[in-house]
Structures are given as C-alpha cells and as structure tokens.
Amino acid sequence: MTNNNPLLIKSTAPNQAPLFGDIKTEYYLPAFTAAIEEARANIDAIKANTDAPTFENTIVALETASETLSSVGSVFYNQLAAMGGDDLHALTSEIGPMNAAFSSDVNLDADLFARIKAVHDIKDTLDLTEEQATLLDDTYKGFVRSGALLDDDKKSRLREISQELSTLGPAFMQNVSKSAESFEMLLTGDDEIAGLPESALEAAKHAASERDQEGYLFTLDYPSFGPFLQFADNRALREKIWRAFSSRAFEDEYDNCDNIKKIVSLKDERAKLLGFKNHADYVLAERMAGSPKAVTDFLDTLLSAYKPGAEKDLQDLQDFAKGYDGSDDLRPWDFSYYSEKLKKKLFNISSEDFRPYLPLSTVLGGCFTHFEKLFNIRFEENNAYPKWHADVQSFDVFYKDSGDFVGTLYADFHPRSGKKPGAWKTCYRNQGLFGGKVERPVVAIVCNFTKPTADRPSLLTHGEVTTLFHEMGHAVHALLSDVTYQSLAGTSVKWDFVELPSQLQENWCFEKETLDMISGHYQTGEKIPQDLIARLNNAKNFMGGWAGLRQVSFGLLDIAWHTTDPSTIDDPAAFEDETWKDVTLFPRYAGPMSTSFNHIFSGGYSAGYYSYKWAEVLDADAFEAFLENGLYDQKTANAYKNEVLSQGGTKPPQILYVNFRGRDADPDALLRREGLK
C-alpha cells in the first residue's frame, strides 16, 4: 500500500499540497508506519556518520529527518479536527502511541544527543547566522526538556507518560464533540421561537430540513446556540440549551472528568521528572512570562481592573431587566438576552443589524483586500487544489509587485458533524526546508460560521468578522514567513507571542475604511451606514468588565489546574468551584467549564491560556502605531511585516517587538483601549 499511498508519494497538487481526494482512512496507519521507518533510517545515518558532528551533518540533518512523518501527521491530526468521525478517532489509539514511541526514541537517544551536545558545546566558535544559532539552541534545549539528561529509569517512565498522553488529548476532544452532538432541540410552537430573528429561524429551519424534520432545530454549534441565548424570549428554553452547552462531557456517557485527572497527573509527573515544580513551571520556563508567578501577578492585576467593572455590568443588567420585564433573579442563561436588550437601548445597536451587510463572500473578498493593502499580497482562488470537503475553498497567494508565490490558503467556514467547535489556523506544511529546498507554506483557517440557506447566503455577525480577521492574522503570519527552517517558521514563536498577529487584526474591524471594504448588503450592495459604524464604536466596550473577567477567569483556572498537586484533586467540578469562588459572579448551575476546555486539555494552551490577554497588551500597543501613522501606512506595515511576521521564531519575541515598535510595549495600552484607564 505504500507505493501508491497518496500520503507518501510526492504530491502532484499545486504547491505539493495534500491529495485530499485520494486519501482514505485505511491509508493512515501504513503511512505512519512507513514514515517512521524512513525517519528512523535518517536518524540512524546521522548517528553512523563518522565525521565530527557539525551544524549541517547533525542539526540540519535532524531538522529534515522526519519530513514525511510531519506531512502525514499534519494531514491526520488536521483532518481529525476538521472532519472527525469515529474511524479517524479510533485510529488515535494506535497512531498516538506509535508517534509518542518514536518521539521518545529520538529525544532519549544518548548517541544522538551526544552529537547535538558536541555541536552546542562549540557554538561560540561556529560562524552561524542568528537563525542557525537559534535552531541549535532550540534543538539542544528541546532534547534536554524532553529528558535527554535523565537516567534510564526516568527515561523509561517518561516514555510511558508520553504514550498515555498521546491518546488522552484526542479522547478529550472527541468526548466534547460527541456530547455536544448528542443534544438537539426541535421546536414547533410560536411561543418557543418568539423573539428570534429571521436569520436564526431560517438557519434552524434549514438544519431541521437537513435531518428530514419539520420545525426549527437548534444545536450546540455556536451559530445556533449563540443567537438562541441572545434573542429567544422563552426563558425555560434558554435555560435548557444553556445547561446543555455548559454540561458538555459532564455526567453523561462522554464524561471527561477522569480524562482531566489523568492528563494533569501525567503532566505534573513529567514536569517533576524533568526537575520542575509542576507543569506550569515547566511550560513557562520557555515563554515570555517566564514563571507561574509572573502569570498570576499579570492576571491578578487585570482582575483588579475587570472585577469591579464586571460587578457594575451585572448590576446594570439586573436593574435593566427588572425595569424591562420585572425579572429580578438574573441567571447565566439570561445574561446574553438582557445584554442584547440593554445594548439596543443604550446604543441603538444589535448584533443582527450587521448580518445583511456582511455576506461571507463579500467579507472574505474585503478581508483579502485589507491584507493586500497592508502587505502588498493578492489572493487568487485556485480550484485545482484537492479539498477535504465541498465547503472548502482554496487560494494561491502572491506578492502583487513581483508576482512571486507566497503560499497556499485553504478556508473551511461552516459547521458539520464531527468537526471540532471554534475557529483555528493550522498548517499542512510550514514554510522552510522541504525535500532539499525552501518551499512555501500550505496554510488553512477553519471556522464554524453561520451556514447559507436556500434563500440567503451565509451572513455574518460583526463578532464572526473579527473571528475571521483573527484567524487570517495567524494565517498571514505563516504565509509571510521568510526563514530557512520549518521549526522556526511563521507561528513557531513563543506561545504568549503567537496571538499578537491574530489579535492585532481584529482592531481594523472597527474602522470605517476597513468596514467599507468588507461590507455590501446581500440584496442591495449598500455599505454599512456611517451611523451604524459610529454606534458600533460607541458600544465597543459595552460589558467590557464582564468580558475581561471571563478571560481572566479562564487563565486563572488553567494555571490552577497546572500548579496544583493533582493528588489533592478528587472532583474536577469542586476544584473549579473553589478556584473560581472569588472570580465568577454566578454560582455554577450546570457542569464545570473544565470538562469542555479543549484549549488546555486537548490543545496547546495548557498553562498558556493567559497568553490571549498577554498578547492583547502587545496588540493594543501595536495598533496605536497604525492609528498614529495611518491605518494602511506602508512604512509601519512594512516594519511590522519585516520585523515580526517574516521572522517567525528566529529571534526572541521581545527583540522582534522592539525592532518593530522602537520600544517595549506600553502596558497601559490595553486598559486605554478598553476605557479602563
């Protein structure tokens, strides 16, 4: 099967993109087996080399030794998130341990590490570029942090831990998806759908028809769940869907409580084996923050600003609800509903006001124009690329002036069964060395936006637009990468810096010049009216204390999970309650958030969720440069592109930022933007 396996043969698709149309589930296991065999042979050749270890014959050779395995793995794990399905998830029980065993074999190989150390020991005598020096340091530290200095008994236990963790993360993610998909709410009565806007009703009717049902079907996909909580007058049904969403993977057949305890216990044990106090200590040693204390101090500083604001937000909402319809006992399932009503009263604005002006195709075209104006690139749809689903779109990206090829962009916008919730950017291949030459990247953004119906296109809320710009910020970071080595390319930066390029892009979504680019009424072509843009900006910080407290609470929960001795945690729900007792303003009325917290238990954000707020400080300060010099000022945009985006992880992020801005970030920039200072 390996001779004609589309995962293993050289791709004939543009930019050597994966041959999605030819890939079948049964191809993955033999592809992983063959790719690991190839990588082992390459690494054996490094060790067998009788020449003295050098940067080229050891460090670069190791960097490129597992190219095929990386390609196969990127396809499998990206499809696991974008497509899902029982067949793919079943494979994780074999593929995860297989990958983990190979990684352990490499990272714990004493002979291989000896060659790496030999090069590292003489690094000051080598004539290395800054990027080469970074690759050498990262390679050496990566081996040390993976256990290369441990004794044999500890290495053996580390292998076992890696094996177990390799299946627990995917299992956690699948449980969240399966639990969410098990809930459906089919409504037929007028009293059940009262208050819902036409867009939500049409989408719900379309969802029901897709399942051969009559009525209005609501699910826990955010485009369905979110508007229901915002607009449905029926409080009992709001409570029903809120409780279902908040209880995903808790006390049902997909319960994640045991998975959580296993994951945090294994990560804590691994950290201690490697000489760290806990998992957070281990993770943060290689982040901008540096330590758990720095993170908690940062979050506590924000907490002191956000909590009073959140308490005022809640009191204002309670006062409004009482005057609006006599409600005097606000619960979490009421928050979005009355917030929408109060926002309408104060600012004469609703999230639904924007939908007619924001058809997805128009927004996407305008988003591309935005990046063209900033970075002199153009996007050209190319249907010659194989795709993993009919919804997926594919684009070539070029530099406008030179015509040079920048990379490939896939866009996958709508929910479907098996697909992970949320939105993310990923790479099927990073920019850098591949097959002996520096190649351009294959990048994808994956979202869960409102689906089109028979009568209208996909119409976005302003919030969904900011999500698109956020993920495109990540994508352009990867596309504009200009390095030599894939492991340092694009978004391969310290985790608390990676959200700067994404969050920075959200700022343009409030500017008239940009909104004019991305808007056009789906029936008339009319741009978003000036007065609506003004109201949008007037309402920009509405419930800002509440939103800020929410993000801080997630960061504090993450750090608590990864600094607490896991042996003291018996009940994840009780642990979350205790952690949040002085942070949240409502008691827990359903399951704990932890059982569906994909970011930290099946994603890469464990001990790193704080990075969203950390990077907000950077993005607020960075956007002030554009406000000072012009939204599309080429000098500012070029400095940002050349000093940040193109550099990837070749330099420390602090240096990248100062090279762009000319100084460190002003920590007050975020609070200024949010009207708190």
Whose structure tokens read 């990386």? 70
Q: What is the pLDDT of residue 1?
A: 56
From CA 454, how far away is CA 450, in angstroms rounded? Answer: 13
Is the separation of the CB atoms in 487 and 64 below 8 Å? no
Whole-number average pLDDT of the chain? 96
Q: Is 128 helix (H, G, I), strand (E, B) or coil?
A: coil
Where residue 303 falls (left for φ over 0; alpha for ψ -120 to 50; beta otherwise) is alpha
Catalytic residue among 67, 471, 506, 576: 471
Give pLDDT tens digits for 25-65: 999 999 999 999 999 999 999 999 999 999 999 999 999 99
- Per CATH, the architecture of 257-349+544-609 is what? Orthogonal Bundle (1.10)
Element (H, E) at 658: helix 653-661
Helix (H) or strand (E) run with residue 279 in it: helix 279-284
Residues forming beta bridges with residue 394, ordered by sequence position:
410
Fold classified for 356-538+612-673 = Neurolysin; domain 3 (1.10.1370)
Predicted confidence (pLDDT) per residue in 3-21, tens digit:
789 999 999 999 999 999 9
DSSP 564-614: S-GGG-S-HHHHHHHHTTTT-SS---SS-GGGG-HHHHTSS-TTTTTHHHH
Residue 359 carries which DSSP code?
B
Could you report the per-residue pLDDT of 613-630, keeping only the tens digit for each?
A: 999 999 999 999 999 999
**Tens digit of each residue's pLDDT (9 = 90 or more) over 158-212:** 999 999 999 999 999 999 999 999 999 999 999 999 999 999 999 999 999 999 9
Cβ neighbours, 10 Å, residue 104: 20
| Beta strand 377-381 pairing with 393-399 | antiparallel
Structurally, at CATH architecture level, domain 14-107+109-149 sits in: Up-down Bundle (1.20)
pLDDT at 73 over 70: yes
Burial level of 1, CB count in 10 A (0-12/13-18/19+)? middle
Write the DSSP string, 437-492.
Answer: EEE--EEEEE--PPPP-SSS--B--HHHHHHHHHHHHHHHHHHT---S-GGGSTT-
pLDDT, residue 677, reads 72
- The pLDDT value given to residue 351: 87
pLDDT of residue 3: 74
pLDDT, tens digit (0-9, with 9 covering 90-100), for 391-401 = 999 999 999 99
Amino acid at 593: M
The answer to whether residue 471 is catalytic is: yes
DSSP-assigned letters across all residues of 132-166: HHHHHHHHHHHHHHTTTTS-HHHHHHHHHHHHHHH
Burial (CB < 10 A; 0-12, 13-18, 19+), residue 587, is exposed
Amino acid identity of residue 462, one-letter, is: H
- CA separation for the pair 345, 350 (Å, rounded): 10
Residues 6 or more apart in contact with residue 531 via CB below 8 angstroms: none
pLDDT band for 513, please (50, 70, 90 cuts).
very high
Q: Has residue 287 got a pLDDT over 70? A: yes
Identical fold for domains 257-349+544-609 and 356-538+612-673, yes or no, is yes
Q: Would you place residue 2 in the very low, low, confident or very high pLDDT band (cuts 50, 70, 90)?
A: low
Question: Which band of pLDDT confidence, cut at 50, 70 and 90, is reported for residue 219?
Answer: very high
Q: What is the pLDDT of residue 158?
A: 97
**Which pLDDT belongs to residue 675?**
84
Could you tell me if 427 and 409 are in contact, meaning their C-beta atoms sit under 8 angstroms apart? Answer: no
DSSP of 187-252:
E-SHHHHTT--HHHHHHHHHHHHHTT-SSEEE-SSHHHHHHHHHH---HHHHHHHHHHHHTTTSSS
Cβ-contact 531, 340 below 8 angstroms: no
Select from 385, 410, 387, 407 the least CA-distant residue to 398.
407
CB contact burial 322-337 (16+ within 10 A = b; e otherwise): eeeeebeebebbbbbb
Q: What is the pLDDT of residue 653?
A: 95
Sign of CA dihedral 290, 495, 441, 648: negative
Q: Give Cβ neighbours of residue 94 (< 8 Å, ≥ 6 apart).
A: 29
Q: Give the CA count within 13 Å in the CB-facing half-sphere of 394.
A: 18
Q: What is the pLDDT of residues 305-343, one digit of tens each?
A: 999 999 999 999 999 999 999 999 999 999 999 999 999
pLDDT at residue number 168 = 96
Model pLDDT, residue 603: 87
Q: Where are the domains of the chain?
A: 14-107+109-149, 184-238, 257-349+544-609, 356-538+612-673
How confident is the model over 470-484, as a mean pLDDT?
A: 98
Beta bridge partners of 378: 398
- pLDDT at position 258: 98
The identity of residue 360, as a single letter, is L
pTM metric for this prediction = 0.94
Task: Identify whether the C-beta of residue 465 lies closer than 8 Å to the C-beta of residue 363.
Answer: yes
Q: pLDDT tens-digit profile of 97-134?
A: 999 999 999 999 999 999 999 999 999 999 999 999 99
- Distance from CA of residue 254 to its chain's centroid? 23
